[in-house]
Structures are given as C-alpha cells and as structure tokens.
Amino acid sequence: MPSTSRILALVLAGYVLPMLSASAHAQGNPACTLLTLEEIRSTSGQNYDDASPGDELGQGIGGGASCQWGGPSFVPGKGTPMLSLVVIPNKNGSYAEGALKAAPRKGCTREKLSGVGDVAFLETCEKSRGPVAYANAGKWDLVVQMDVEPPATPASVKAPIVTVAKAAAAKLRDQ
C-alpha cells in the first residue's frame, strides 16, 4: 500500500503543479495579463476563475496571443461561458482592418462598434459559438469572443463582449 506522502506527491504532481505551471504561463502571456481578473469579472459580468493561457505571442491568430476564462466545468452549477481574448501586434497592418475589408461569411452580420478602437466591429454568425468583436487600438489589434450558452442569446452576450473589448482596447492604446 502506498504511503500517505507518496499519494500526496502524486496528487501534487498530477493536479497542483500543472495548475501552478498554467498560472505562471498565464503571467507571461500578454492576452492573459492585459486585464486583471477583477477587470475581466466586472466587464464580463461573470464570476470567472483564473485565466487559462492559449497561444503564445506569435503562435495565435494573426501572430497574436490568446487567453480564455471559463468554459465547461465538472462542478455542477459552476460553469461560466468561455470568454476568449486575443491580442495581435499589427506589425504587418491591422488584423481588424483586414477582416473588415473581407466580405462577411454566409450567415454572418456585422455592425460597427464605436468607442472600442480605431476600427472596431462585431460579427455575429448563425452557426458559431458566439459573437466576435474585432478592434484595432494603436499598435495592437484584439479579438474578443464569448460563448452563447442557453438561456443566453447572441444579443444578450453582445454587451459584455463590447465592454471587455473597450477595456482591453483602452489598455492596448497605452502600450
């Protein structure tokens, strides 16, 4: 029979250390550090836990970095809709401007957003996880998306997406 210390070591190695590693990884990811957890909670209206880093800078969409909060949970009643934030350095031109120049995909609508960035729009598609905000803020672009989980609707998640995008764009302008 394994000793208590061996069981504890296995638990730490299998559960706690990966969590600490993800937390340290999130601290180096600009998409995860752009807004504080409190800012993410207050702008989204959701009680999110810590960030979950996605792509490193240079590895994500448009050469950006990504970070997510929430998503499916194994704890009943704990789930929050996944919120994704991508920051993209616009070394080769604005990602948001380029996306806006392309025609919307079939089943998608776009609306201009004011007060978010230099160029900003929200795209909502019939068959998608949820609306997506695209914005340019100075030397950076950002993409913000929130899953639509019933009883939410694309219309009901629009305000939190835009609020997160405004907060993120304001901070990006200062960088």
Q: What digits encode the pLDDT tens for the residues 129-156?
A: 999 999 999 999 999 999 998 889 999 9
The yes-or-no verdict on residue 165 having pLDDT over 80 is yes
Q: What's the pLDDT score for residue 93? A: 85
The yes-or-no verdict on residue 73 having pLDDT over 70 is no
Single-letter residue type at 141: D
List of residues 6+ apart from 54 with CB closer than 8 A? 29, 31, 60, 65, 66, 67, 68, 84, 86
Q: What's the pLDDT score for residue 4? A: 37
Q: What's the pLDDT score for residue 20? A: 35
Cross-strand bridge partners of residue 98: none
Cα angle: 32, vertex 37, 40; to 5 degrees: 85
Q: Kindly indicate the confidence band of residue 61, based on its pLDDT and cuts at 50, 70 and 90.
A: confident
- What is the rounded CA–CA span in Å between residue 148 and residue 84? 12
The Cβ-side half-sphere exposure at 146, using a 13 Å CA radius, reads 27
Single-letter residue type at 119: V
- Domain architecture of the chain: domains with CATH: 4-173 (3.40.1000)
**Which 3 state secondary structure label does DSSP give 62?**
helix
The first and second tokens of residue 161, run together, are 């997406």
- Mean predicted confidence (pLDDT) in 13-18: 38
- Mean predicted confidence (pLDDT) in 32-51: 95
CB of 122 closer than 8 Å to CB of 133: yes
- What is the rounded CA–CA span in Å between residue 134 and residue 123? 8
CB of 137 closer than 8 Å to CB of 86: no
Average pLDDT, the chain: 84
pTM: 0.82
Single-letter residue type at 51: A
Q: Kindly indicate the confidence band of residue 106, based on its pLDDT and cuts at 50, 70 and 90.
A: very high
The yes-or-no verdict on residue 55 having pLDDT over 70 is yes
Q: What percent of the chain has pLDDT over 90?
A: 62
Q: What's the pLDDT score for residue 131? A: 97
The yes-or-no verdict on residue 14 having pLDDT over 50 is no
